[in-house]
Amino acid sequence: MAIVDRFFALKLFSALGCGLIAGVFFAFSSFVMNALARFQPAQGIAAMQSINITVSNPLFMAAFLGTAAACIFLAIISKKLLPHDKVRSCQRQLRHRRSFQRQRYQILSLQIVYVRLTTSPC
């Protein structure tokens, strides 16, 4: 039986919203700013002011601010709902990996010193 995630719809909305807003930012920086640069300064200012008025609509604001709010909410909820035992287990595994890597580097450095001492022409 599949486990249904309680916040699946909110995660989907956040992911799609982030992609949508990223696309808007990409389009604005790639196409709109290049097009505005071709106008005379007075015409560019008028066009940018028109864009600013047009973009202030409920649909865009819901996607823009709603995505940010949903991401913040999901970050807080995931921090609170994650079991502390799981967090401690992950921290222990990370410490174990770091100590293992440290031991591996110590052994490697000792091997290098040994090879240099045994191969030096003294």
User: Is 88 found in the same domain as 73?
Assistant: no
Rounded distance between C-alpha atoms, residue 88 and residue 95, angstroms = 10
User: Is 31 found in the same domain as 77?
Assistant: yes
pLDDT exceeds cutoff 50 at 2: no
Give residue for tokens 């401690």: 88
Query: Measured on CA atoms in the order 17, 21, 26, 27, is the torsion positive or negative?
Result: positive
Query: Measured on CA atoms in the order 28, 34, 38, 40, is the torsion positive or negative?
Result: positive
With residue 41 as reference, give the H or E element that holds it. Answer: helix 41-55
User: Is 90 found in the same domain as 34?
Assistant: no
16 compared with 83, residue with greater pLDDT: 16
pLDDT for 20-32, tens place per residue? Answer: 999 989 998 888 8
pLDDT for 80-109, tens place per residue? Answer: 776 666 666 767 777 777 777 777 777 777
- Best CA proximity match to 81, nearest among 21, 4, 1, 6: 6
**Percent of the chain having pLDDT more than 90?**
25
User: Is 60 found in the same domain as 45?
Assistant: yes
Give residue for tokens 């600013």: 52
Per the structure, the complete domain to which residue 48 belongs is given by 1-81
User: Is 89 found in the same domain as 72?
Assistant: no
- Give the pLDDT mean for 46-56: 90
